[in-house]
Structure 1
Amino acid sequence: MRIVLGIVTVIVFVLSCSKQEELFIWDNPELPLEIPPGFPALNRFVQDNRPTKYGVQLGEKLFNETKLSGNNTISCASCHHPSKAFADANAQAIGIYNRVGLRNTTPIQNMAFMQFYNWDGNILQLEKQPLVPIITHEEMNSSILEVIGKLSEEAAYKALFKQAFGDDEITADRIYRSIAQYEYTLISADSKYDQVMRGDAIAFTEIESEGFAVFQQKCAGCHSGALFTDQSFRNIGFPINTDSREAGRARVTGIADDHMRFRVPSLRNIMQTAPYGSFGQFPDLKTLLDYLADGVLDAPNLDPVFKENNNRIPLTEAEKQAILAFLSTLTDTQFLQK
């Protein structure tokens, strides 16, 4: 009798489990990724990894997860603060054990529309970026296998991966894809500048209008379009990082003419991302404008914008103040509150 009851219990248990398995219906809707007016086309890899409801939720959790680092103290968010346009206030990135990185932390905004990532453009596909800080000695100093092992111990993560991908397997590719999905949603396009351009019931002040005019004349050649960057690589004569590992774009291409060329940064939310330059050479924008106006370092591949103007961009004090006033209109307050 006991044997029979035992068999019946096992059958009921198996059937119960089967029913629970059948009850799980994977439903992970794609989130709309609207292109703001005037913005360039999406990066070509976005189409293969469109943001989804649970993919983004998982990505945001991973973005803030300290278990991605070797000693469980550093997350992506440790260097990318929302209030600073997902940058930080350090001259150079600071990672595990307070190790100092090679370069200034770049903001994370409008990534879906960028064609190159990082100062030297060594990454073309955002899904390939998360591994870099995970394994870098000065950043998280871990390995993706170690990260997977830690996450696999948590039932909450298994549930999230199941919601995002249909089953609870935790893989490197799924980690990268979900973080990228989250970052694709970080779109900044509602600054005062945007509101003025849309014709909302708002207008530039007199000094902001003056700054816009000066900017278009003397800055927009590089900081063009809705992203305020032409996404090119240029040597503009900034003070050079003394770290022997630094060579700018030449680290990627191996071409001598690319020495100390860096990706032109977007100026959106620029007021929140000090210090400035590839390794934080300038504590504030006024110091940077003074340097450009006084004269930059010469170099064989110095950008023609400077070569043709005696290695400088002529700016009066009044023009500098006007440019600063205009740049303040690029602050997207709602984005900074994410």
Structure 2
Amino acid sequence: MKKVIEYLIFSFTIIIMSSCNNDRVEMPVDYKNEEIPLNFPKEFPQANYFFAENKPTKYGVQLGKKLFNDKRLSEDNTISCSSCHLKSNAFADNNKQAIGINNRVGMRNVPPIQNLAFMKYYNWDGNKLDLAEQVIVPIITHEEMNSSILNVIGKIQNDKEYIDLFLKAFGDKKITAERIFNSVAQYEYTLISANSKYDKVIRNQGEKFTENEKKGYATFQKKCAICHSTALFTDQTFRNVGFPYNPDLVEEHGRARVTGENADYMKFRVPSLRNIEYTAPYGSFGQFPTLKDVLDYFDKGVLDAENLDPILKENNNRIPLTEEEKNNLISFMKTLSDEEFVKP
């Protein structure tokens, strides 16, 4: 009798396990979700920790790209990630501040999406360290998509294309929040920009700076490279550089919104200058229409503050620039444009 009971228990266990693994049985015979080899430029810093935990795979990236372009992520099915992050603008847009559903205006300027595997922080105030965790922010933000991850799952859970992709990307058909976030992050990790004229000059690949670009590079190294350093053209620090405040946003505190520290008030993440030609307007809420406007502002003098960056304080709250230096700087910054990266 004991053996019969043991046999029944064993058989029942096998049935339950088989039932739980039905999705896996449906996997294609030739299925192989290979990791995508990414060509990391040797000049770039090491990829961040979270990238190593969520490396892009063939089907993970396909799934992430589909989600990135799906308007069903928003409450009223009108806004996708790609609605604001336009490829032709290095995955930024030309609005001062993000525009969400029902033309709601967001708090800040849309940042470009490039070289994210190498970043330590995401968003202007650096409130996310893991790119996969950043994905939820626009989905739930009232001024952007104003939705929830449960709503998103409900909309796509019966979509045959999604079911197939989740199966191929993760080994079964379960559609979960974590898988959605990870796949979008995997797609964004593949958006590497490192093929500008500047890169070709530095790598001796047949390009040369013009005289104006060469002079601009010299000025850049002298007056800009402290903050816009490394091959990413950002040191990834947070600084108050005395930019004008947004009078319509009394709740804007910059990095202090994350840390709660007065010393971080109106500090923002130093942006990368790569593809800067495509990402106007500039500043945390699009304060400056053109690069010339940014340089003019630094030249004339920035807003004073107790925590103003020491580099500015030591120079009477300004970065003095002649008109020639400004023009040459702009010429140099345009060499950071990666035309292949922004092609449709």
Q: TM-score range by the shorter chain?
A: over 0.9
Alignment match, 2:162: 157
Q: Report deviation, 1:305.
A: 1.1
Matches within 5 A, 1:181-330: 181-242=186-247, 243-330=249-336
Separation (CA, whole Å) in 2 of partners of 1:220 and 1:22: 51
Q: Report deviation, 1:153.
A: 2.1
Q: Does 1:120 align with 2:125?
A: yes
Alignment match, 2:11: none
Provide the identity percentage: 63
Alignment match, 2:145: 140
User: Which residue, out of 83, 88, 94, partners 1:83?
Assistant: 88
Separation (CA, whole Å) in 2 of partners of 1:19 and 1:129: 30
Separation (CA, whole Å) in 1 of partners of 2:27 and 2:52: 31
Alignment match, 2:101: 96
| Structure 1 unaligned regions, length at least 5 | 1-16
Show CA shifts across 1:137-187 (max 9, x none). 000011100100101121111011111111111110000000000000000
Q: Is the contact between residue 90 and residue 104 of structure 1 (CA under 8 Å) also seen in structure 2? A: yes
Paired letter, 2:274: R
Q: Is the contact between residue 109 and residue 186 of structure 1 (CA under 8 Å) also seen in structure 2? A: yes
Question: How has the CA–CA distance of structure 1 residues 307 and 173 changed in structure 2, closer, same or farther, with 3 Å as cutoff?
Answer: same
Question: How has the CA–CA distance of structure 1 residues 293 and 159 changed in structure 2, closer, same or farther, with 3 Å as cutoff?
Answer: same
Paired letter, 2:192: I
Alignment match, 1:11: none
Query: After TM superposition, which residue ranges in structure 1, 4 or more long, deviate above 2 angstroms?
Result: 17-26
Separation (CA, whole Å) in 1 of partners of 2:74 and 2:216: 43
Separation (CA, whole Å) in 2 of partners of 1:172 and 1:300: 42
When the two structures are superposed, what TM-score results if normalisation uses the length of structure 2?
0.92
Give RMSD over aligned pairs: 1.4
Paired letter, 2:293: T
Question: How has the CA–CA distance of structure 1 residues 282 and 37 changed in structure 2, closer, same or farther, with 3 Å as cutoff?
Answer: same
Q: Is the contact between residue 216 and residue 331 of structure 2 (CA under 8 Å) also seen in structure 1? A: yes
Q: Report deviation, 1:244.
A: 1.4
Question: How has the CA–CA distance of structure 1 residues 22 and 281 changed in structure 2, closer, same or farther, with 3 Å as cutoff?
Answer: closer
315-324 or 156-165: which moved more?
156-165
Separation (CA, whole Å) in 1 of partners of 2:27 and 2:277: 53
When the two structures are superposed, what TM-score results if normalisation uses the length of structure 1?
0.93
Q: Is the contact between residue 66 and residue 72 of structure 1 (CA under 8 Å) also seen in structure 2? A: yes
Paired letter, 1:100: V
Show CA shifts across 1:185-232 (max 9, x none). 000000000000000111000000000000000000100010000000
Aligned residues: 322
